[in-house]
Amino acid sequence: MTATTVALQPAHVRPHRMQASSLWQFAVFFVVFLSVATPLLFLVLGSFSQARLPSEFSFHSLGLANYIKVWSDPGTYAVLSNTLWFAVGSTTFGIVVAAGLAWLVERTNIPGKIWIYAGVPMTLAMPGMLQSMAWVLLASPRIGFINKGLMDVFGFAAAPFNIYTMAGMIFIEGLRTVPTAFLMLVPLLRSMDPTLEEAAAMSGARPTSMLRKVTLALMLPGLLAVAIYQFTSALEEFEVAGILGLPAGIYVFSTKIYTVLHSTSSLPAYGEANALAMLYLFVAIGSMYMYSRVISKSERFTIITGKGYRPRLLRLNAWRWPAVGLVAIYLSLSTVIPFLALAYVSFLPYLQAPSAKAFAAMSWDNYETVFQTERMGLMVWNTFVMTVSVATAVVIMSFLISIIVVRSRFWGRKVLDQLAFLPHAIPGMVLGLALLWIFLQIDKLGVGLFGSLTSLIIAFTIGYISYGTRVMNAAVLQVHKDLEEAAKVSGAPPWRVFWRVFFPLLQPAFVGVWVWTVLHVVRSAGKPLILTGGGENEVLALVIWNMWDQGYIEAVGAIGTLLMLALFVITLVIRRFGFGRGPHIQEGR
């Protein structure tokens, strides 16, 4: 009897465990579905709303007036054209540079590979907003230091460079996309079987022909996937387009939505902004659909086999040091020169071109002013709370989602995976606009959500879950099920399985996602410009944007220099834990 009772006990216990397991999985699914579907629903409803304010929304005020006004305006299609040119141009430029850098590191004998592999990701420490501001100081036709220097030396009648152009926007955004594309392309080149390249070399193919007909042909699906991913990222870019495009009247979708919502002559046209955002959203979702299609068919281009191999290195010979020079030029244009420009301005009493007189007038006054600003401590604290909260929430949610998607048999795991990736197809400005409608509806209950730090935390967490789940999915797949099952057989409860199995093994992924999220949250100004109420809830990105807009360039230089130094330290952490030390990079000989 006793034996029978013991044998039957697990059968009675297991259904309760399964029910508890299904309950938390359903809770995660419900939270993710609510976080993604609700903003999209309100974005659609808001585009039909003819109410003056989102707080006055009702189903009785729905109509097509916003679509008729926006989509019949020729200016809308000019904005669409600008947006596509901006996204395609910056993506192309960034992918070409990133692919070149990745190829030099993985497939040639260029000197200093470890330093290049470490240096390129370090450019993540340069926020796009500060990078754009620095290049305004360098290449503005009116105050640009480079232009003034060339005009004085060569006697040019007009400034040779103008950063306030579409070409200038593409140049800066392209530089911004390089580190992410580089980190995506390096593993692709590293894992490519060199057999076909060696066969081409044995057949007498020249290096350039082999690169074009073999290497690039094999990389094409991966390159296409990276390009589409970067294109979608460029679509939502606001800071670069705002700093460089708005003064010249060059509008893309993100900046057009911003100007519609921040009209000074009339009430913001919220309904029209939503109708404009719908076209923006269709383009973004279309690009993400293409990305999914490319990824789903990638097995047709399988290039990794079970056979061991060591990728063949191309000897650059006399071109080794010129190649190093090209890498140095990229690092200088993307990080070193912009940082030096902002640091230089931060010590000046007023903006002036570099000269002996300017260096003699340098002081720490701007830094003292920043530290003595009454509200600066509160702004730094708000930024700290926001970034730490968002990064932690993204790591936790991404891990829970990945455990369900990779490890469980939950009925909705595939839908959950798609829902988690969908926010990448929702541009940040569009997501902020959609959440604005939701928060104002909730505030009718007296909650006070709109304009609070909580609203920013929610918005950023939703936006960055897509990246977190991609990293976590790959990391969880690398942990063999036997380790997890052994812990469970030993009687370990779920929390101990996580603490003793997953946490030690996935720590690099946890730290990588956490720090990557911090780097991107602290630099973003788009969502705070829509969702923050200012005052007690201001964050550094919003302060930098407003100070630049009001002409406090020297103070922006001081804050920007300090911020970049802080981000540089954080990037060292992501280099150490998130991306590893690069032990598999083959040193050139």
Give which of 425, 83, 93 is closest to 286, Cα–Cα: 425
Summarised one tens digit per residue, pLDDT across range 94-143 is 999 998 898 888 878 888 888 888 788 888 778 889 999 999 999 999 88
pLDDT at 295: 60
Phi-psi map region of 173: left, alpha, beta (phi>0 left; psi -120 to 50 alpha):
alpha
Give which of 437, 458, 453 is closest to 40, Cα–Cα: 437
Taking the domains of the chain in order of start, what are their residue ranges? 79-249+316-345, 369-580
Residue 543 vs residues 259, 331, 524: alpha-carbon distances, Å: 18, 27, 11
Structure-token pair, residue 98: 């990133």
Taking the alpha carbons at both ends of the chain, their separation in whole angstroms is 75
* Other Cβ atoms within 10 Å of 306 Cβ, number: 4
Residue 81 vs residues 99, 281, 286: alpha-carbon distances, Å: 26, 15, 16
| Long-range Cβ contacts of 564-569 (<8 Å, 24+ apart) | 564/125, 564/126, 564/127, 564/130, 564/339, 564/342, 567/124, 567/125, 567/126, 567/127, 567/519, 567/522, 567/523, 568/122, 568/125
pLDDT at 9: 44
Token pair 């495009």 is found at 245
Q: Which residues contact 246 (CB under 8 A, 6 or more apart)?
A: 255, 259
Structure-token pair, residue 564: 């970049």
- In the predicted model, residues of the chain with pLDDT beneath 70 are 1-21, 191-201, 203-219, 264-267, 288, 291-312, 478-501, 533-535, 573-589
pLDDT at 299: 46
- Read off the DSSP letter of residue 112: -
Summarised one tens digit per residue, pLDDT across range 276-295 is 888 777 877 777 677 666 66
Fold of 79-249+316-345: MetI-like fold (1.10.3720)
pLDDT at 15: 46
Give which of 247, 233, 238, 235 is closest to 129, Cα–Cα: 238
- One of 3.90.470.20, 3.10.20.340, 3.40.50.300, 1.10.3720.10 is the CATH number of 369-580, namely 1.10.3720.10
Beta bridge partners of 532: 451
Residue 415 vs residues 195, 296, 419, 458: alpha-carbon distances, Å: 39, 15, 6, 21
Q: Which residues contact 393 (CB under 8 A, 6 or more apart)?
A: 457, 461
